[in-house]
A and B are shown apart, each in its own frame.
Chain A
Amino acid sequence: MPRDYGPHVLQRIKWSLLLGTALLFFVTSFFWQSPGEILAGLIRINLDPSPLITDYIVIGGLGAALWNSGLIILLGCWMIHMTRARLVGTLMAAVIMVAGFAFFGTNVFNVLPIIGGAWLYARFRKQRFGSVILAAFFGTALGPLVSILAFDLTYPLYISLPLSLMVGVLIGFATPALSGPFLRFHSGYTLYNIGFVAGVLGIISVSILRAYGHKIDSVSILSVNRPWQLTLLLIGIFSFMTIVGLFLNGWSLKGYGKLLGNSGRLVADFDILYGTALTLFNMGLMGFIAIVYVYLVDGPMNGAVVGGILSVAGFAAMGKHPRNTIPVMLGVLLATYTSPVMNHSNTSAVITALFATALAPIAGEYGFFAGVLAGFLHTTLARNVLGTHGGVNLYNNGFSTGFVAAALVPLLRTVRDRKEDREDA
């Protein structure tokens, strides 16, 4: 029988998970690099332009990449603590996702101005910062824009640095303002809504830069290895989630069927709806499913893939579960297997499959085949939207899923409405 733990105990468990992950990253980093190498690596990471896809394991080394991610987790925890927000599923998803992107594009230097901009927005609107904290977290998707402006243009540093900080603040200010209204475009059928917002802001920013002769392009700086130690680290985190979840639920899966019945459409905060126990279990399980996928398609385990796996696990607190994500992943697999120009085992295809699970609500609401179709369409589209923002938006897949959801959902709804009208007649 599941025991009824008080909210304080559950809050502490969730805080322990986040802080424990950061601590685990810090401690294990020394297996790969010395403190001096980690520091040098962290400096290289923070000074790198970091357009999509820049693997921080290549730039700074695995130890430095782990420290970078750990520092981002601590920053996220500090923000939640300062705003006195309750640590619920949406915030856990946000912190874990941003921590994942700290393996390929997000660093302390490029997130701070964006978070500062969101804080200014809250001050400007006379709102609490807590009310825009999600937009502040996810707005960091445009971190590479800040880094590119600071370190990749031909301007001297005394111009490029203030310019990059100013643009970062502007992006941070605009993101909360746009994030709500942009939800209407896809009606909440992509979980990465701010990826869509960031894509639009990225296109506008890059268009301005290109109009003034700057060349902004995505890159592919990637490790192709699959270090077993990194897999083991992830297995450790997901095992902790799964075991603690099961323990809190009285070593049973009672209530999990109800969670699986949720479509996942925004805003499905599983922690609020179904409790911390089942949410942690679901996060661990989804993390394992993501790892299994990577191994099944013989993909690499580099920074981008680790980021993708963490985002799947993080959003298992906010909409993703096996029933609504597996059809989408199968859709991606179908596209990458049948296309003569795609390779299902390269980084691009693997992270497309992992991030495509943002379309889980389509499978959850409209069924298995709709999910497969969404995954298939997303795979073809994600490749083409990357060039529009030149890799300044880390949530390129989120951007693409916005279009897929906006195009697909009205059609699926039309079919369903007609079916319901017939039944009513």
Chain B
Amino acid sequence: MHKRAEHITSNMIRALTQFYLEHHAKEVKMQLQTVDNSLKVWFQGQVNLEESEFEKLKESLAQPNTTDIEYYYSELLDSSDSADLMILGALIDRSELAFDDGILTIDLWKHFNK
């Protein structure tokens, strides 16, 4: 991965970690895989989340991709508002979410252009 992609990736991880902590996660597991300029992130942890909040999260992470502005706006990912996940949603290519028995699992995929 190039430097810019590394920087955006670390901002993405920070935003997701923040989200889990804000929802009272005691333990969060994370896995990060990079191949060339592609990234796969997996997060899992027990959280206090209403079903409506989960639906909102799914909607946030399903934003249409806006790669043209990814470097510029990825800087906003490190502040602590939940709205940040809308920005995260606009940066990623695809997401898969599951919420069973209080355990929230998030899979994200992103390919970085030059």
Contact = CB atoms under 8 A, between A and B. Distances in A.
B10 interface: no
A187 interface: yes
Contacts of A365: 81, 83
A35 B64 CA distance: 45
B87 interface: yes
A184 interface: yes
Interface of B is mostly: helix
A135 B83 contact: no
A397 interface: no
Interface in B29-53: none
A272 B63 CA distance: 8
A10 B76 CA distance: 29
Q: Which of A133, A181, A266, A365 has the most CB of B within 10 A?
A: A266
Nearest to A91: B68
B72 to A, nearest CB: 5
A88 B74 CA distance: 18
A183 to B, nearest CB: 4
Contacts, number: 69
A128 interface: yes
A55 interface: no
Given A263-B83, A266-B76, A267-B90, A133 B66 contact: no
Contacts of A126: 114
Interface in A380-425: 413
Given A134-B69, A183-B76, 20 more contacts: A90-B69, A125-B4, A127-B4, A128-B68, A128-B114, A131-B68, A131-B70, A131-B113, A135-B72, A181-B75, A183-B73, A265-B81, A267-B69, A267-B76, A269-B66, A269-B90, A272-B63, A272-B66, A273-B63, A365-B83
28 contacts: A85-B68, A86-B68, A127-B4, A128-B68, A128-B114, A130-B68, A131-B68, A131-B113, A133-B68, A134-B69, A134-B72, A181-B75, A183-B73, A183-B75, A184-B76, A184-B78, A184-B79, A187-B76, A187-B79, A187-B81, A265-B81, A266-B87, A267-B69, A267-B73, A267-B76, A272-B64, A365-B81, A413-B80
